[in-house]
Structure 1
């Protein structure tokens, strides 16, 4: 299936309703929800957004979501929330996030 075109160019992902629906669906599959009682303090420093294998999506959704590209992670090839995490975290050398 080809890319969705709007006004002669690729869709930029700026449909608020669509993005809100995606966020609600994707948030339901978090591995480590920060609001859960069992969330460990050490996990704050190993969230997806700080992993060298996390690649942000483009457009508005890319402000919070990216794809995991770590072949060792169970989430490889899946869209992940930047504040989620897994046991295969690999921090960025520059310590950046997002």
Structure 2
């Protein structure tokens, strides 16, 4: 079935396919041998420069807007991260 009107991000099959594709682009994978424990607390979803996408896919993905980050302007998984992490003043996540 084809959707009509503006895209709302509510197509589960499309969102699941994006999620699977985009996981291959992670900067930091939790299963990698050199994953540091500190990185667990420095994930994109807790960075002041991470802006969540709209719709269902926005529960897991957002855009990096940190000019100092190599990931600036890219869509990132909330559990990814980079060296330029800047904690939110209110300590929220996502």
Same fold (TM over 0.5): yes
Q: For 1:96 and 1:70, how far apart are their aligned partners in 2?
A: 17
The count of residues paired between Structure 1 and Structure 2 equals 92
Q: For 1:87 and 1:28, how far apart are their aligned partners in 2?
A: 19
What is the 5 A alignment of 1:38-77? 38-77=34-73
Q: For 2:85 and 2:22, how far apart are their aligned partners in 1?
A: 20
Residue matched to 1:20: 16
Q: Which residues of structure 1 form unaligned runs of 5+? A: none
Residue matched to 1:88: 84
The structure 2 residue matched to 1:79, chosen from 75, 80, 83, is 75
Q: For 2:58 and 2:25, how far apart are their aligned partners in 1?
A: 17
Alignment RMSD (CA, Å)? 1.2
Task: Compute the TM-score of the two structures, normalised by the length of structure 2.
Answer: 0.92
Q: For 2:36 and 2:68, how far apart are their aligned partners in 1?
A: 22
Task: Compute the TM-score of the two structures, normalised by the length of structure 1.
Answer: 0.89
